[in-house]
Amino acid sequence: MKVLIMTAVEAEREAVIRGLGASDGFEVRLAGVGPAGAAAATAAELARSHYDLVISAGIGGGFPGIADIGSLVVASDIIAADLGAESPEGFVSVEELGFGSSRISVKYDLSIRWLDLLKYAGLAVHYGPVLTLSTVTGTAETAEELSQRISGAAAEAMEGFGVAEAARQLGIPIMELRAISNLVGPRQRDLWRIDKALLALEQACSLLPEVLKC
């Protein structure tokens, strides 16, 4: 099996590579920050080479009370949370507008296997929807609106849906993993624990060869 792992930035890429060690069958490439660049970078890589599975991996924000700093979130769904329209009555989804879907399903069996192996390894991990947004949430109000609107929202990041859409259009299964560096809510950049998140990302990726051994 050949697996493509897309990270936004080089520090995440290095953490993934450290975790994978000398394992064969993985390519780890940069997606850039944001869903548009991530979709384009993923599509370009998928045009260059054949892959059986695509994974969007990196750090992310955790929803308070669900995913703490230093923990992991394995995506149950990958959701473009800001794809739609605002209205005086509230957010109107792309589904309600009749323009397609804001939700991409993950490769369920492998996601559950990764979740189980992470739990077995003693790591703090949650399974739930991971949101993709072009703008990092920076207020308690937006965090609350997202949690109310998207049932079970566990984490947010900026690339998952872009990576996933490129894979989906080619019929390639997709997964997403986020290591939590900060809580979703009022912006306090000095409280981000990128070091903790990168360590968790590395630990999670060290289990990937075992996840795919079936």
Ligand X SMILES: O=C(O)c1cccc(C(=O)CC[C@H]2O[C@@H](n3cnc4c(=O)[nH]cnc43)[C@H](O)[C@@H]2O)c1
* Residue 93 φ then ψ, to 5°: -75, 165
Q: Binding to ligand X by residue 71, rule CB under 6 A?
A: no
Nearest residue to the partner ligand X, using Cβ: 61
> What residue ranges in 72-214 does DSSP mark as E strands?
72-80, 84-85, 92-93, 103-105, 125-132, 155-157, 174-183
Nearer to ligand X, 69 or 113 (CB): 69
- The answer to whether 82 and 104 have CB atoms below 8 angstroms apart is no
- The answer to whether 204 and 198 have CB atoms below 8 angstroms apart is no
Select from 9, 30, 40, 112 the one that contacts ligand X (CB under 6 A): 9
Q: Binding to ligand X by residue 194, rule CB under 6 A?
A: yes
Nearer to ligand X, 10 or 86 (CB): 10
Q: Nearest approach, Cβ of 98 to ligand X (angstroms)?
A: 28
Q: Binding to ligand X by residue 60, rule CB under 6 A?
A: yes
Nearer to ligand X, 15 or 46 (CB): 15
Give the burial string for 78-104 (b: 16+ CB within 10 Å, else e): bbbbbbbeeeeeebebbeeeeeeebbb
d(CA 175, CA 167): 10
Binding mask 124-163 for ligand X (x = CB under 6 A): ---------x--xx------------------xxxx----
- The answer to whether 31 and 38 have CB atoms below 8 angstroms apart is yes
Q: Binding to ligand X by residue 8, rule CB under 6 A?
A: yes
Q: Binding to ligand X by residue 61, rule CB under 6 A?
A: yes
Q: Nearest approach, Cβ of 168 to ligand X (angstroms)?
A: 19
Q: Nearest approach, Cβ of 70 to ligand X (angstroms)?
A: 13
- The residues that bridge with 93 in the sheet, in sequence order, are 84
Residues near ligand X, by CB under 6 A: 8-9, 11-12, 33, 58-61, 133, 136-137, 156-159, 181-182, 184, 194
